Amino acid sequence: MAILAIDVSKNYLSFFSDFIGSGTVENSPQGIVELFNKAFASSSDFSLVLESTGVFSFNVANFFFQNNVPVFWVKTDNIKLYRKILNRPKTDKIDAELIFSIASKFPESLVPFVNNSYIISELRNLTRLYLKFNEDIARLKLRRFSLFP
């Protein structure tokens, strides 16, 4: 199975693969679709492997997952250690190559992507509600102490 490795940053997706080569696209819905179309045109049997970088990597992982591509995470610590062992500098292009190398040499270290967007959105809503209640409590305490010192 072919591997598409992506190093995700806030604005760009640097990719490296054994079937479409390497390059960079914008980290936006258009860039994600462009990369998916390029990859799918070359091979319909590939896996996406990327570094778990929180909110910046979720959209690309979720898009590929929704389109039936197996998605895996590489732990950030693994990349740091591997880069240190190989004595390589930190650039997006090199990180994409390192992710590819880890995925091909150490597939047992990969963590499968689980689409938990429903849980995340529910947690966001609960957190916002909690913060709103805390603001209301603070406002009521100030009002109480200003009326009845």
List, for residues 67-124, the tens digit of each pLDDT value: 999 999 998 888 888 888 988 888 888 899 999 999 999 999 899 988 776 777 788 8
Give 9-15's long-range contacts (Cβ < 8 A, gap of 24+). 9/53, 9/56, 9/92, 10/56, 12/92, 13/60, 14/92, 14/93, 14/95, 14/96, 15/96
Question: 116-147, pLDDT tens digit by residue?
Answer: 767 777 888 899 999 999 999 999 998 888 87
* CATH number 2.40.128 given to 2-114: no
Question: 10-62, pLDDT tens digit by residue?
Answer: 899 999 999 999 999 999 999 999 999 999 999 889 999 998 777 788 889 98
User: Of 96, 47, 40, 95, nearest to 71 (Cα)?
Assistant: 47
Residue with tokens 């004595």: 87
What is the maximum span of the chain, computed from C-alpha positions, in angstroms? 74
147 contacts: CB under 8 Å, gap ≥ 6: none
Q: Rg of the Cα trace of the chain?
A: 21
